[in-house]
């Protein structure tokens, strides 16, 4: 059975971090990594807006990837 968690882990193994963030950002329980993961996904999907607000999207992405690794590795 293919679950959302298995899809996240598969994307992480393939180093497809954008896909892993996209799926994981919709999970209801992400613990203390919730803010980093959801912020990373929204920054990626709304890059111009986040850049306009003065955020470093690449840094938010890196923090989100680190949060994914911490949560699911």
* Tokens 């911490």 sit on residue: 70
pTM attached to this predicted model: 0.92
Total count of residues recorded for the chain: 73
Could you give the dihedral angle defined by the CA atoms of residues 42, 45, 49 and 50, in that order, rounded to the nearest 10 degrees?
50
Q: What is the pLDDT of residue 23?
A: 97
pLDDT band of residue 1 (cuts 50, 70, 90) is: confident
The stretch 7-12 carries a mean pLDDT of 97
SS3 30: coil
Structure tokens at 42: 């929204």
> What average pLDDT is seen over the chain?
96
The stretch 35-60 carries a mean pLDDT of 97
SS3 65: helix
């Amino acid at each position: 059975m293919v679950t959302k968690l298995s899809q996240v882990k598969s994307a992480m193994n393939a180093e497809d971090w954008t896909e892993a963030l996209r799926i994981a950002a919709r999970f209801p329980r992400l613990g203390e990594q919730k803010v980093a993961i959801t912020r990373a996904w929204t920054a990626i999907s709304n890059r111009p807006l986040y850049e306009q607000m003065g955020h470093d999207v690449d840094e938010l992405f890196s923090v989100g990837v680190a949060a994914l690794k911490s949560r699911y590795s």
